[in-house]
Amino acid sequence: MARSYRHTPIMAVTTAASEKQDKRQANRLLRRKVRQGKVCLTLREVSNVWAFSKDGKTYQLSATARNIRK
């Protein structure tokens, strides 16, 4: 992986390390609803992705070399 770096400086706007816990809770709720008999549901119908800990991505002009590495 000698060339493992981002080609465009688009990064997450966040202080959180990941959204893993948010995704786990949303999928658990989805599976619970499906088990209760509500068959045709999507993840967005049972959870609010805007309430997750990360808040989108932006293009950062002043990205340092450290930020661009993966």
Task: Answer yes or no: pTM beyond 0.95.
Answer: no
Q: Is 5 part of a structural domain of the chain?
A: no
Where are the extended beta strands (E) located within 1-70?
A: 10-12, 57-59
Q: Is 37 part of a structural domain of the chain?
A: yes
Please write the tens of the pLDDT for every residue from 22-58.
Answer: 889 999 998 898 888 877 888 888 888 888 888 778 8
Calpha distance 69→36 (Å, rounded) = 45
Q: Is 64 part of a structural domain of the chain?
A: yes
Q: Is 4 part of a structural domain of the chain?
A: no
In the predicted model, is pLDDT for residue 70 greater than 70? no
Calpha distance 31→18 (Å, rounded) = 22
Domain extent for 61: 10-15+24-68
Q: Is 2 part of a structural domain of the chain?
A: no
Q: For the chain, how many structural domains are there in total?
A: 1
